């Protein structure tokens, strides 16, 4: 499979060159630049199209794409008003928009819009499989290095950090691993281990769509290695449930499955008490595993909730807190939770748009199941993002999992259109 146009070439070579880009510390810089270039490329294509433009090359944004653009623009507006309310200097407000909003929330909207270009999802699936195979080769090497030679936490800060956005995003771990308190964990291309778990889960969904069986199996193995190597509880949970969830979503329109699921739900209601006890026991055991991390997260979340309620319930504080107290390891207030981070930084005005965008996207894809071939993978991506939003700041990691966002945009684009000069309904 070879790229056939400029957007495909840029996407293909970027994904295949992810590790070289990481080792120069360029992921956090180049991903937003790629998004900006392809976004303006799309605008140019849309502006120049005429009635003579080939049907397959026409640009027509779907309703969910417009919703994401509008909602993420509201987040930017909330950042400005919040900054004004807290008397932040103009330079700080501009810095927040350029080095925070544009690299995070803007990417959440721009990459799905880019999916409306003439980009074949199969090309993204193939490129992601190759990246995961590269990871499958590196994971055992890095694992051996940190277990046999204690070669962890060796790294450097890229000179590209001068372009701003947070030093942590420019830190390059030479052996792809770190020492998290007492645990040696992989983080590979990610700024912290759970972020790698999110990338592994999302890329696993993409590898599932690959048509070449050998590449598919190896890609899935590589994605799973990233997830388990991160030792992220949420990531491992998502990986375990993603296969049955994807299968159920793919077959949800079949009557026999609907009948079976109704029986399962009925049985769950009958045995609710005993099931609840078992589920509570499982949750408790998961929380006790790496209990220190659990306590730190809960403390950070409580600080963010209190600060939002007491100080800035409507517009937020305008930006994240750089450092929290020593009790939470000086982690920023608003980190480790997308929703509480939004409430803290941008108030209820900033949090509601994300809820609207998620809900709109979910129901749009849900109505396409069984009739649109990319709706299942799009819904799987969306579900993982929603789940992870309660454990991490998914907006700050969009520069890593952006291929999934493009595929999400391709799923949005799948609508029934009437081809010009024809009465035949087709899927695009």
- pLDDT single digits (tens) 3-62: 999 999 999 999 999 999 999 999 999 999 999 999 999 999 999 888 887 777 788 999
What pLDDT does 329 receive?
59
Res. 386: pLDDT tops 80: yes
Mean pLDDT to the nearest integer, 262-270: 71
What pLDDT does 143 receive?
87
206-259 tens-digit pLDDT: 999 999 999 999 999 999 999 999 988 889 989 988 878 877 877 777 777 777
Res. 418: pLDDT tops 70: no
Contact 8, 123 (CB under 8 A): yes
Res. 128: pLDDT tops 60: yes
What pLDDT does 109 receive?
96
Contact 198, 236 (CB under 8 A): no
User: Which residues is 417 bridged to in the sheet?
Assistant: 426
- Three-class SS state of 184: strand
What pLDDT does 305 receive?
85
Highest-confidence segment of 63-67, 140-144, 286-290? 63-67
Contact 10, 37 (CB under 8 A): yes
Q: What is the DSSP string of 332-356?
A: PTT-S-HHHHHHHHHHHHHHHHHHH
For the packed helices 338-366 and 63-85, what is the interaxial angle rounded to 10 degrees?
160
What pLDDT does 330 receive?
63
Q: What is the DSSP letter of 172?
A: E
In the numeric block, the tokens 């778990």 are attached to 197
Q: For residues 352 and 75, what is the distance between their CA atoms, to the nearest angstrom?
A: 9
392-415 tens-digit pLDDT: 889 999 999 999 999 999 999 976
The H-assigned helical ranges of 179-317 are 193-207, 213-230, 233-251, 255-270, 272-288, 291-311
Contact 375, 411 (CB under 8 A): yes
What pLDDT does 179 receive?
77
Task: Based on DSSP, count helices (H) and strands (E) in the chain, helices before strands.
Answer: 16, 6
Res. 422: pLDDT tops 70: no
Q: For residues 125 and 48, what is the distance between their CA atoms, to the nearest angstrom?
A: 30
Say what the pTM is: 0.90
Percentage of the chain with pLDDT > 90? 51
What pLDDT does 428 receive?
38
Contact 76, 97 (CB under 8 A): yes
Res. 99: pLDDT tops 90: no
Question: Which of 180, 221, 172, 227 is closest to 199 using CA atoms?
Answer: 227
Q: For residues 25 and 5, what is the distance between their CA atoms, to the nearest angstrom?
A: 27
For the packed helices 27-48 and 105-114, what is the interaxial angle rounded to 10 degrees?
50
The H-assigned helical ranges of 24-103 are 27-48, 63-85, 90-96
Please tell me the total number of residues recorded for the chain in this structure: 428
Residue 185 belongs to what H/E stretch? Answer: strand 183-186
Q: Which two tokens stand for residue 244?
A: 């049955």
Contact 231, 185 (CB under 8 A): yes
Mean pLDDT of the chain: 85
Res. 423: pLDDT tops 50: no
pLDDT tier for residue 421 given thresholds of 50, 70 and 90: very low
Q: Measuring CA to CA, how many Å separate 209 from each of 116, 126, 129, 335, 375? A: 19, 9, 10, 33, 12
Mean pLDDT to the nearest integer, 172-196: 87
Question: Could you tell me the maximum CA-CA distance found in the chain, to the nearest angstrom?
Answer: 68
Residue 87: count of CB within 10 angstroms of its CB: 8
Contacts of 268 (CB under 8 A, 6+ apart): 275
What pLDDT does 326 receive?
61
Residue 398 belongs to what H/E stretch? Answer: helix 398-413
Res. 416: pLDDT tops 50: no
């Amino acid at each position: 499979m070879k790229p056939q146009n400029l957007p495909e070439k840029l996407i293909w070579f970027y994904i295949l060159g992810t590790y070289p880009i990481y080792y120069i510390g360029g992921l956090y810089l180049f991903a937003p630049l790629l998004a900006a270039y392809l976004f303006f490329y799309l605008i140019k294509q849309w502006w120049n199209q005429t009635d003579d433009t080939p049907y397959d090359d026409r640009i027509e944004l779907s309703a969910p794409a417009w919703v994401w653009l509008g909602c993420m623009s509201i987040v930017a507006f909330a950042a400005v008003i919040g900054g004004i309310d807290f008397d932040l200097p103009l330079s700080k407000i501009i810095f927040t928009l350029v080095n925070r909003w544009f690299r995070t929330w803007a990417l959440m909207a721009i990459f799905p819009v880019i999916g409306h270009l003439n980009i074949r999802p199969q090309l993204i699936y193939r490129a992601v499989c190759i990246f995961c195979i590269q990871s499958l080769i590196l994971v055992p090497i890095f694992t051996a290095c940190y277990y046999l030679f204690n070669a962890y936490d060796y790294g450097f800060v890229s000179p590209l950090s001068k372009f701003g956005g947070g030093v942590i995003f420019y830190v390059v771990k030479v052996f792809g691993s770190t020492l998290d308190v007492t645990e040696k964990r992989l983080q590979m291309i990610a700024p912290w281990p759970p972020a790698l778990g999110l990338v592994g889960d999302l890329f696993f969904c993409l590898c599932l769509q690959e048509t070449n069986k050998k590449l598919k199996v190896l890609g899935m193995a590589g994605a799973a290695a990233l997830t388990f190597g991160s030792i992220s509880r949420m990531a491992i949970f998502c990986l375990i449930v993603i296969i049955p969830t994807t299968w159920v979503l793919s077959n949800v329109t079949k009557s026999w499955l609907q009948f079976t699921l109704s029986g399962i739900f009925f049985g769950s209601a009958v045995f609710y008490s005993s099931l609840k006890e078992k589920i509570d026991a499982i949750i408790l055991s998961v929380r006790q595993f790496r209990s220190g991390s659990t306590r730190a997260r809960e403390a950070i979340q409580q600080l963010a909730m209190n600060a939002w309620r007491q100080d800035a319930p409507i517009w937020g504080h305008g930006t994240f807190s750089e450092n929290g107290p020593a009790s939470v390891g000086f982690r920023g207030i608003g980190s480790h939770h997308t929703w509480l981070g939004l409430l803290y930084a941008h108030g209820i005005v900033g949090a509601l748009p994300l809820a609207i965008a998620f809900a709109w996207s979910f129901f749009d894809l849900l109505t396409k199941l069984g009739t649109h071939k990319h709706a299942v993978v799009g819904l799987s991506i969306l579900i993982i993002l929603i789940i992870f939003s309660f454990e991490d700041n998914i907006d700050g990691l969009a520069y890593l999992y952006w291929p999934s966002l493009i595929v999400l945009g391709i799923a949005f684009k799948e609508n029934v259109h009437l081809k010009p000069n024809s009465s035949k309904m087709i899927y695009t």
